[in-house]
């Protein structure tokens, strides 16, 4: 009986480890997307020179994530500064998507009364 309980705990540990790793991966990718979009937002806001290789790199990499939200709202332009509202909307949408994915992963393997009892015991 004790061996069966150890096996159950080992399987539960492995399952929780996979779920935890999946959560980490989702939040890691969200972090990358959010940082890229934040850089893009700040560079546009301060009117960075798009001919600069770093600025051009950030614009080209972040464009794939910013494109679905472009032209939702008009940009606010002042001299060389651009306040791109769509980037902020995109950052919020990506956060909501990541949160939904994490919650979906939790739904796939919900805690059963037996798992709770085994964990507590």
Rounded to the nearest 10°, the torsion over CA 24, 28, 30, 34 is 150
pTM: 0.79
- pLDDT (0 to 100) of residue 83: 94
Render pLDDT for 33-62 as a digit per residue (tens, 0 to 9): 999 999 999 999 999 999 999 999 999 999
pLDDT tens per residue across span 78-95: 888 999 999 999 999 999
CA–CA gap between residue 113 and residue 16 (Å, rounded):
16
Task: Collapse the DSSP code of 30 into the 3-class scheme (helix H, G, I; strand E, B; otherwise coil) and give the result.
Answer: helix
Which residues, listed in sequence order, are joined to residue 83 by a DSSP beta bridge? Answer: 76
Most distant CA pair in the chain, distance: 75
SS (H, E, C) 24-77: HHHHHHHHHHHHHHHHHHHHHHCCCCCCCHHHHHHHHHHHHHHHHHCCCCCCEE
């Amino acid at each position: 009986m004790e061996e069966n309980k150890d096996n159950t705990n080992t399987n539960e540990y492995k399952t929780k480890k996979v779920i935890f790793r999946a959560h980490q991966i989702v939040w890691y990718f969200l972090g990358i997307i959010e940082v890229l979009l934040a850089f893009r937002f700040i560079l546009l806001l301060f009117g960075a020179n798009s001919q600069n290789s770093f600025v051009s790199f950030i614009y080209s990499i972040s464009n794939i994530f910013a494109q679905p939200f472009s032209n939702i709202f008009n940009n606010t332009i002042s001299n060389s500064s651009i306040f791109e509202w769509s980037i902020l909307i995109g950052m919020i949408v990506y956060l909501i998507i990541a949160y939904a994915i994490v919650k979906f992963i939790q739904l796939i393997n919900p805690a059963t009364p037996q798992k709770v009892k085994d964990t507590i015991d």
